[in-house]
Amino acid sequence: MKDTYTVRVLKIDLTTEDVSLDEIGTSEALKFFGGRGLASCLLFRSTTKETDPFGEENPLIFAPGVLVGTCVPTAGRATVVSKSPATGMFMKCSMGGHWGAGLRHAGYDVLIVRGKASRPTLLTVTNTGVQFRNASTYWGLDVREATSKIEADLAIPEVDIACIGPAGERLSRIAAISCSYYHVAARGGLGAVMGSKNLKAIAVHGRVPVKVADPERFWAVSEQARTSVANTGRCKFYGEYGTAGVVVGANAMEALPTQNFRAGSVPDAYGISGQCLAEQNYLVRRESCMACSIMCKRYSATRNAYPGSEAGGPEYETLAALGSGCMLMDTDAVLKANELCNILGLDSISAGSVIQWAFECAERGVLPPEIDDGVGGRVSLKWGDAHAVHTLIEMIAYRRGLGDVLAEGVRRAAQTVGGDSWKWAVEAKGLEQSGVETRMAKAYALAFATNPRGPDHLYGQPMAEFGFSPEGRALVRRLAGDEKFANPIITDHKPKLVAWHEECFAMTDSLGLCSRATLSTYAITPAMMAEMLSAALGVEMTEDGMHEIARRVINLERAFNMREGARRRDDRLPWRVMNEVLPNSKGIRAINSEEELGKMLDEYYELRGWDRETGVPKASTLRDLGLDEVVTDLGLTATDS
Amino acid sequence: MQSRLLTETVRCVGCRLCEMACSLKHESEFAPWLSRIKVDRTPRTCLAVPSVCRHCADAPCVAACPVDAIKQSPASDVVYIDAVECIGCQQCLDACPYHCIVFDSSRGVALKCDLCNGDPVCARVCPSGAVAFAVSEDGE
C-alpha cells in the first residue's frame, strides 16, 4: 500500500519526562482506521490484566479522528481511551469542541500519556515542542477557573485545553475530562486517570496543516455530506433544540428515565426540555464543535434563580439524570446542577445516577433522611430537593461526607451501604446506565448489554428502531427487510440492527465524526465515510471495507474485556430493568427479561462469530480479521473455532 | 455591481467551517490560520465572532502598500493582493482596521479575501447564516 498516511504518535512519560515519537504507516494504521480504532489497539497492546487503572502503567490515550481538522461536517471529535477505574475494563470516550483539532495542528495524531508526575503538571503540546510545567497553582481550581488561568498564563492565541476539576484530582470514579471548557470525555472515570497521574491539564496549539490526498474529491464529498446534513429533518431538530429537544418526545413515549428508573415519565417535562430553554430565553446562544453544521451544542443561563450561573449544555442525558431522574423539574435548578458538574469535572449521567440512588436509599431507610454536608450544614435526601442535588454534587467532587462514598460510583457505593441497595443501583459492569429506558426499546437493551463500556448509548445507539425518521426507517428496511421492524418493543432482527450500529459507531469515532450525524440522524452514511477516507488518504475504501475494519475494532475492544475475565454473564442489564416492570399506559409489559435478552444475545453472538456459552470471540473469527495476536493473548488454541 | 460578504455575530456558532473551506480553496490544505475569514472564539462563554474583509471603498490597505501590490478591481470593487508584487512588509496588516489580512510567514506574503471570484466558499459552507454573500446592483 502506498504510504499516503502516516500516523504520528507522541508518547509522553510523566515519571521520567521522556518524550518520544512513533510513526505508524498507512497499512498498519488503516487496519484500525486510526483515531479510536488505533487508540484501542495501542491500549490493548500496552496493558495487561494486571494493569491498575490508577497505576503509572495505565496509559491515557488521546486520538483525534482521522478527518479531524478538515471541513467534513462534524469532524471535530477526539477519542480518549484507557482502562476504566469505574469498570476495570475497556473505556473509550469521545469529546467534541476544538481540542482534537488543536492536537492535530500541533502535528500529532495520537497522544499517549503514561507514568505519574511528581508534582501537579500542565503539559503543553505545540508544534515547537512538549513542555512539562508546574501546575501547583492550578491544582484545586475548578475546570473553568483553571482553564481561564492557564489560557492567561500561557498567552498562546487559540490554545485549547483539556482539564480536570476537583473530582478528577480526588480520583472520583465518575470524574470527567473537560476540553474547551464544556466538551467532556465524561464516562468511566477517565478524569480520575488523569488525576492519578498528577496531570491537571493538557494544552494544545500549533500550525501544522492537515492535508488530504485529493482536495477536489474531498471537497466534493464534504459538499455531499453537508447538503445531506442540511436536508435531514432530525439534524434541523437538533440544531433548533439541541439534544435537550428529545426530552418531550421521550416523556410522551413514557421512556424518560424518572425517579431512578422507577417510572418512564413525569406529568410535565416541558421545564427540562430544549423547547423550554429556547422559548423561555434560557438559551444564551447556540454553539458548534469544530466543523459541525448541526449546531446542537447550547450555552445556557439561569433566569429566575442562581444568578450568574451559565454553562455549556445542558444535554438530554444531563436533563434526564439530574432532572427527571432526581425528580428535579425546576429549570433553573437543573441548569445550576449542570453547571456544577461541568466546572467540578463530573460525568453528569453518573452524578445524577448516584444522587438518585442516594435519594432512594433514604426513602427506603438504608440511608438516614438527613445527613451532614461535611462543612457544618445539613442536607435532606429528598426527591426533587434542589439544595440536596447541588450540595451532593459538590460533596462528591470534593469527597466530603457521603460524597466520598458516592464518588466511587453507584456499584461501589451500594457495596459500602449494603442491604438491598444494589437492586436500585442502576448499573452494569460498574457503569451507571445512561438515560434510555431499555424496557421500552429492545435494540437499545441488547446494545447496552453488549457495550464493553457498560450500559450506555455511545457504543451502539440503535435509534433507527424507534422509526422516528425516514432515514432510520429506510435503514431498518435495508437491514431487516421490512419497515415494520422499526418498532422498539419487538425483538426480531434486533441483533442485526445492533451490530450495524456498533460498526457505524466505530467508523464514526475513528474518523472523528459525531454520532449525531451518522447514527441518530443517518445524514452521513458509511458509504460517504468510505468516500471521505478514500479522498483524504489516497486509498480506495468501500463501505464493506469500512464494516470489516469496524468489526476488527469491535472484536479487539471485546477481547480487552475478555482478557480481564469478562464473559457472557457480564453482558447484562441493571437488576431493576430486568426485575421490575416499568409502569406505563400503553398496555405493554415493559421489562427486560433474562429470556428475551438471552435469545437476542444468542443471535448476536452467532452473528459476531463469538462463542454462545462464553461470549468470547472464536479464534477463527479473530484470525479472519487479522487479529492473531489477540488469539494468543486470550489463551485461545487453534481448536477454539 | 458590488458584492460583499456580510457577517452576523449573533448567528455565528464557532464551527470554523468557513476557515477550513477558505484554506482548502486557497491553499489546498487545511490551515485555518491562513484563512482569509477569521472566527475569534471565546470558549469560556461559547462566543464566536466572524470577521472578513469589507472591500472598503477607500481601502486603508491599498493606501498603506508601499509597492502597490494591493489593488481594487474597477469592475467589482474587489480588493486583492498581487502575491508576486507583495514584498511581505506587513504594513497592510497594521492598516486594516478589521484585522482581516493574514500573513503567511513561510512564503513571506500577505493574504486576503478575494471573494473567490464571485462565489465565496465561506458563505456556502456556513450552516447558521452568520456569513452571507450579498450582491447589489447599485453598490449599496
CA distance A86 to chain B (A): 29
Question: Residue A638: what pLDDT?
Answer: 59
Cα A138 from Cα A162, distance rounded (Å): 13
Tell me which chain B residues have a C-beta less than 8 angstroms from the C-beta of A180: 43
The answer to whether the CB atoms of B15 and A292 lie below 8 A apart is yes
Residue among A158, A287, A293 whose CB faces B17 most closely = A293
B99 and chain A: CB distance < 8 Å anywhere?
Answer: no
CA distance B58 to chain A (A): 31
Residue among B14, B30, B33 whose CB faces A288 most closely = B14
What secondary structure does DSSP assign to B16-75, as a single string? Answer: -HHHHHHHHHHHSSB-GGG-SSEEEEEGGGTEEEEE-----TT-HHHHH-TT--EEE-TT
Question: Residue A639: what pLDDT?
Answer: 58
The answer to whether A348 and A296 are in contact (CB under 8 A) is no
The answer to whether the CB atoms of B41 and A158 lie below 8 A apart is yes
Residues of chain A with pLDDT under 50: none
B135 — pLDDT class (breaks 50, 70, 90) = confident
Q: Which three three-digit cell numbers place residue B7?
A: 457577517
Residue A69's nearest CA partner among B124, B11, B13, B23 is B23
Count CA atoms within 13 Å of residue A441 on its CB side: 27
Tell me which chain A residues have a C-beta less than 8 angstroms from the C-beta of B29: 209-212, 215
- Nearest-by-CA chain A residue for B125: A226
The answer to whether the CB atoms of B44 and A289 lie below 8 A apart is no
Cα A286 from Cα A293, distance rounded (Å): 11
The answer to whether the CB atoms of A287 and B20 lie below 8 A apart is no
Tell me which chain B residues have a C-beta less than 8 angstroms from the C-beta of A178: none
Interface test with B, best of A284, A285, A289, A310 (most B CBs within 10 A): A285
Interface test with A, best of B9, B15, B42 (most A CBs within 10 A): B15
B49 and chain A: CB distance < 8 Å anywhere?
Answer: no
- Collapsing DSSP states into helix, strand and coil, what is residue A134? strand
Q: State the count of interchain CB pairs (< 8 A) between A and B.
A: 95
A385 and chain B: CB distance < 8 Å anywhere?
Answer: no
Question: Residue B140: what pLDDT?
Answer: 45
CB proximity list for A273: less than 8 A, separation 6 or greater = A241, A244, A245, A247, A248, A319
ipTM of the complex: 0.95
Could you read off the pLDDT of B103-116 as tens digits, one per residue? Answer: 999 999 999 999 99
Instruction: Using the structure block, give the residue that is written with the C-alpha cell 469529546.
Output: A95
Q: How far is CA A563 from CA A32, A49, A189, A224, in A?
A: 19, 6, 20, 42
Spacing of C-alpha A353 from chain mean position: 15
Interface test with A, best of B44, B104, B121, B122 (most A CBs within 10 A): B44
- Nearest-by-CA chain A residue for B31: A209
Read off the pTM. 0.97
A71 and chain B: CB distance < 8 Å anywhere?
Answer: yes
Tell me which chain B residues have a C-beta less than 8 angstroms from the C-beta of A286: 13, 128
- Nearest-by-CA chain A residue for B38: A158
Cα B70 from Cα A60, distance rounded (Å): 50
CA distance A213 to chain B (A): 9
Tell me which chain B residues have a C-beta less than 8 angstroms from the C-beta of A290: 15-16
The answer to whether the CB atoms of B20 and A211 lie below 8 A apart is no
- Nearest-by-CA chain A residue for B29: A211
B106 and chain A: CB distance < 8 Å anywhere?
Answer: no
What is the maximum span of chain A, computed from C-alpha positions, in angstroms?
Answer: 67
Cα A454 from Cα A434, distance rounded (Å): 9
The answer to whether the CB atoms of B13 and A288 lie below 8 A apart is yes
B137 — pLDDT class (breaks 50, 70, 90) = low
A465 and chain B: CB distance < 8 Å anywhere?
Answer: no
- Nearest-by-CA chain B residue for A143: B44
Q: Is the model's pLDDT at B138 over the cut of 70?
A: no
B5 and chain A: CB distance < 8 Å anywhere?
Answer: no
Question: Residue B75: what pLDDT?
Answer: 87
Could you read off the pLDDT of A390-447 as tens digits, one per residue? Answer: 999 999 999 999 999 999 999 999 999 999 999 999 999 999 999 999 999 999 999 9
Could you read off the pLDDT of B23-41 as tens digits, one per residue? Answer: 999 999 999 999 999 999 9
Question: Residue A2: what pLDDT?
Answer: 61
CA distance A495 to chain B (A): 36
What secondary structure does DSSP assign to A270-294, as a single string? Answer: GGGSHHHHHHTT-EEEEE--TT-SS
